[in-house]
Amino acid sequence: MNGIGVKEIAFVGYPVTDLDRARDFYGRVLGLECTLDHPVGIETEEGDAVRWIEYDVGSSTIAISNAWPPSGQSGPGAALEVEDLDSAVEKLRAEGVTFKTDVMSSPSCRFVAIADPDGNDLTIHQANPSS
């Protein structure tokens, strides 16, 4: 075996500036269930308590935290699978979510790129049915 024996992705982590706003977005807007909200026991440079918040999505996890600041640059991007892309886009538009692209198609899927309230990239994805 080469490398270090990586088995799977443990989580994708997103830095956020406002934990309550981020929890509302990931929980209410995207409909993800919070599975962990853990105070880390340290403070940010601004004096805010650092928290680590997780949302399990299938066998993967999205984590948000104020432990490090958003870079304002492109970083990791999770793709969230939905049953009905058009319905999801309609609901996200009604919530005022920022869209980074229009809906696009490929031979295997349809998808759209959005941003969370801190500008982190997320893809909303619907796989094409198998032929």
Q: For residue range 45-60, what is the model confidence (pLDDT) as tens digits?
A: 888 899 999 999 998 8
Give tens-digit pLDDT for 98-120: 999 999 988 778 989 999 998 88
Give tens-digit pLDDT for 21-33: 999 999 999 999 9
Please state the pTM of the whole predicted model.
Answer: 0.77
Q: CA-CA distances (angstroms) from residue 118 to 7, 28, 50, 105?
A: 30, 16, 16, 26
Q: What is the pLDDT of residue 131?
A: 44
How many helices (DSSP H) and strands (DSSP E) are in the chain?
2, 9
Binned at pLDDT 50, 70 and 90, residue 70 comes out as confident
Q: Tokens in use for 18?
A: 């406002």
Is the pLDDT at 1 greater than 70? The verdict is: no
| CA 100 to the chain's CA centroid | 14
| Beta carbons of 11 and 60 less than 8 angstroms apart | yes
